Amino acid sequence: MGRLEGKSVIITGAGSGIGRAASLLFTQEGARLIAVDRTDGVKETVAQIQKAGGTAEAVLGDAGSEQDVIGFIARAVSKHGRLDALWANAGISGGLVPIAEQTVEHWQEILRINLIGPFLAIKHAIPHMMKQKSGAIVCTASVAGLKSGASGHPYAASKAGVISLVQTTAYSLSGTGVRINAVCPGLIETGMTKPIFDNAKERGTDHKIGQLNPLKRAGQPHELAAMGLFLASDEASYVNGQAIPVDGGLTASMPYAGKPI
């Protein structure tokens, strides 16, 4: 029996990258999935799931729109009778723009998707989970939310906000039976990070990718999906309010140049 056998699950940002890898893994483990994305990539994700014999439905929706969030949560509850786990994974990067050239509109859009999106998912999921006296929420943060230097200002600020949201929500849910945690990806090879990998290949420096972490490589989406699966499952029944890096050890130490001592 799979670790999520029969459980009703929602994953946002399911159209590619970490969200697609998580969707495939969760359904392999028996989840009944509502896969959400604002792009048609979510349809391909669900096609792959169904081809593999899993149960999933694609929903086009914007994770930063309250009406869309209400809609896809209601869809999961209507179809499956309950909501056992939700992974608020949808996010955008925003690129690297000098701070003096950033606009309020640029910040607002990143915060809308990356931070307000998880808030909305939490807000509308927890009434169903509290009624059941059980449930697990996972939010995608980032190592950029833990330490500086990993991304642009608005992205890093949005992910630091996700970590704080997870920690404060864990205490707001005291005694309800509902858990919430964050995963903090390091450098993962996805569509969002594709420009980094492409630029390195063009410069002939792709062998240097991931060299700042002890594993000396970039991560893959399935490695994040595995952590999310653990946090969403009953195996993580005593893990709550945590922001867990999945980064090859990048945040285990301060960055340094040169050879190890």
- Rounded to an integer, what distance in angstroms lies between the CA atom of residue 29 and that of residue 57? 16
Selecting among 155, 171, 238, 256, the annotated active-site residue is: 155
139 forms beta bridges with 88, 182
- Amino acid identity of residue 225, one-letter, is A
- Give domain limits for the chain: 8-189+220-240
Distance of CA 249 to the CA centre of its chain: 19
- Stretch 83-112: mean pLDDT: 93
pTM for this entry? 0.93
Query: In which region does residue 72 sit, left (phi positive, over 0), alpha (psi from -120 to 50) or beta (all else)?
Result: alpha
CATH architecture of 8-189+220-240: 3-Layer(aba) Sandwich (3.40)
Q: Give the list of residues 6+ apart from residue 258 with CB closer than 8 angstroms, or none.
A: none
183-194 pLDDT, tens per residue?
A: 999 988 776 665
Confirm whether 155 is a catalytic residue.
Answer: yes
151-178 pLDDT, tens per residue?
A: 789 999 999 999 999 999 999 999 999 9
Burial of 155 (0-12, 13-18, 19+ CB in 10 A): buried
- 207 has a pLDDT exceeding 70: no
- Stretch 2-15: mean pLDDT: 97
Give the pLDDT band (50/70/90) at residue 196: low
Q: Where are the beta strands (DSSP E) in 23-134?
A: 32-37, 55-60, 85-88
- Stretch 141-149: mean pLDDT: 89
**What pLDDT score was predicted for residue 113?**
97
Phi, psi torsion values for 178, nearest 5 degrees: -100, 130
- Rounded to an integer, what distance in angstroms lies between the CA atom of residue 144 and that of residue 148? 6
